[in-house]
Structure 1
Amino acid sequence: MSENPKLGMESLWYGINLWISCLVFLLPLRRKTHFKVRLILSGAVCVLILSGVYYLIENLTDWSYWGQVPLLFITYFSAVLIFYNCVKGKGFGLWYCGVWGTMTFLLVLETSYVLCSPLLGDLGNWLLKILFSVAVNVAIGLTLARWMPEKGQYQIGPRQMVSAWVFCIMSENLFIYAKVDPGAALFNIVLQFYCITLLYLQSALFKKSSMRKELETIQLLWHQQKGQYQLSKETIELINHKCHDLKHQVQAIRAVKDEKERETYLEKIEKSVQIYSAIVRTGNEILDTILTEKSLICENSGIHINCVADGSLLAFMNPVDLYTLFGNALDNAIEAVRKLESKEKRVIDIMLYERQSFLMLQIVNPMCGEVKFEDGLPLTTKAKNGYHGYGMKSMLHTIQKYEGHLTTEVKNGCFYFNVMLPLERDSNKK
Structure 2
Amino acid sequence: MTEVLPNIPREITGLAEWLACMVYILVLPRRWGVVGTAATLAVGLAALVGIQLFAGTLPLHLWTVGMALAVAGMVGLMAAATTVGLRDVGYVAARAFVLAELVASLEWQIHAFYFHPEPGVEGLIPTIVLVVLYAAAFGAAHVLERRHFDGTAPAVGPRMLSIAVAMAVTTFALSNLSFVTPNTPFSGEISIEVFYIRTLVDLAGYIALYAQHEQLRKQRADLELAAMDAILRTQHDQYLAAKRDIELVSRASHDLKHHLAVIRVELDPEKRGRQLDALEESLDQFGAAFDTGNPVLDTVLTSKARYCRSRGINFTCVADGTALGFVDVMDLASILGNALDNAIESVQRLEDPEHRIIRVAVHNQARFVVCRFENYFDGELRYKEGELATRKVGGTHGLGLKSIWHAAEKYGGQATVTARDNWFTLTVLLPLS
Alignment TM-score, normalising by the size of structure 1: 0.75
How far residue 77 of structure 1 moved from its aligned partner, in angstroms, is: 4.8
* 8 Å contact kept, 1:284–1:311: yes
Q: How many residues align?
A: 406
User: Which amino acid in the other structure matches residue 307 of structure 1?
Assistant: V
Equivalent runs, 1:12-411 vs 2, <5 Å: 12-31=11-30, 47-57=49-59, 60=60, 71-72=66-67, 74-84=69-79, 86-89=81-84, 93-116=88-111, 117=115, 119-121=120-122, 125=126, 129=130, 132-133=133-134, 136-141=137-142, 143-149=143-149, 152-156=152-156, 158=159, 162=163, 165-166=166-167, 169-170=170-171, 173-174=174-175, 177=178, 181-184=190-193, 185=195, 188-189=198-199, 192-193=202-203, 195-246=205-256, 248-259=258-269, 262=271, 264-275=273-284, 276=286, 278-300=288-310, 301-311=312-322, 313-314=324-325, 316-318=327-329, 320-337=330-347, 339=350, 341=352, 343=354, 346-353=357-364, 356=367, 359-373=369-383, 378-382=388-392, 384-402=393-411, 404-410=413-419
Is 307-316 or 207-216 further displaced after alignment?
Answer: 307-316
Note closer, same or farther for the CA distance 1:312–1:127 as it changes in structure 2 (3 Å cut). closer
Q: Distance in 2 between matches of 1:312 and 1:216?
A: 31
Q: Which residue of 2 aligns with 1:418?
A: 427
Note closer, same or farther for the CA distance 1:388–1:24 as it changes in structure 2 (3 Å cut). closer
Q: Distance in 1 between matches of 2:18 and 2:76?
A: 11
Give 5+ residue unaligned stretches, structure 1. 1-5, 62-66, 425-430
Q: Once the two structures are superposed, what CA deviation does each residue of 1:124-174 show, in whole Å capped at 9, x if it has no partner?
A: 756764665455434433x13322126521143536852673366335533
Note closer, same or farther for the CA distance 1:406–1:168 as it changes in structure 2 (3 Å cut). farther
Q: Distance in 1 between matches of 2:200 and 2:44?
A: 32
Higher helix share: 1
How far residue 296 of structure 1 moved from its aligned partner, in angstroms, is: 1.4
Q: Once the two structures are superposed, what CA deviation does each residue of 1:386-408 show, in whole Å capped at 9, x if it has no partner?
A: 53422122333444555553333
SS at 1:23 equivalent: helix
Q: Distance in 2 between matches of 1:70 and 1:378?
A: 42
Q: Distance in 2 between matches of 1:290 and 1:330?
A: 9
User: Which amino acid in the other structure matches residue 319 of structure 2?
Assistant: V
Higher relative contact order (CA 8 A, sep 6+): 2
User: Which amino acid in the other structure matches residue 287 of structure 1?
Assistant: L
Q: Distance in 1 between matches of 2:108 and 2:385?
A: 43
How far residue 331 of structure 1 moved from its aligned partner, in angstroms, is: 1.8
* 8 Å contact kept, 2:242–2:302: no
Q: Distance in 2 between matches of 1:423 and 1:175?
A: 64
* 8 Å contact kept, 2:300–2:333: yes
Give 5+ residue unaligned stretches, structure 2. 1-5, 181-188
How far residue 289 of structure 1 moved from its aligned partner, in angstroms, is: 1.3
How far residue 110 of structure 1 moved from its aligned partner, in angstroms, is: 2.0
Note closer, same or farther for the CA distance 1:33–1:274 as it changes in structure 2 (3 Å cut). farther
Note closer, same or farther for the CA distance 1:136–1:322 as it changes in structure 2 (3 Å cut). same
Q: Once the two structures are superposed, what CA deviation does each residue of 1:350-373 show, in whole Å capped at 9, x if it has no partner?
A: 2143754x6543334453321124
Q: Distance in 2 between matches of 1:420 and 1:375?
A: 25
Q: Once the two structures are superposed, what CA deviation does each residue of 1:292-314 show, in whole Å capped at 9, x if it has no partner?
A: 01111333424132222224633
User: Which amino acid in the other structure matches residue 105 of structure 2?
Assistant: E
Alignment TM-score, normalising by the size of structure 2: 0.75
User: Which amino acid in the other structure matches residue 350 of structure 1?
Assistant: A
SS at 1:56 equivalent: coil
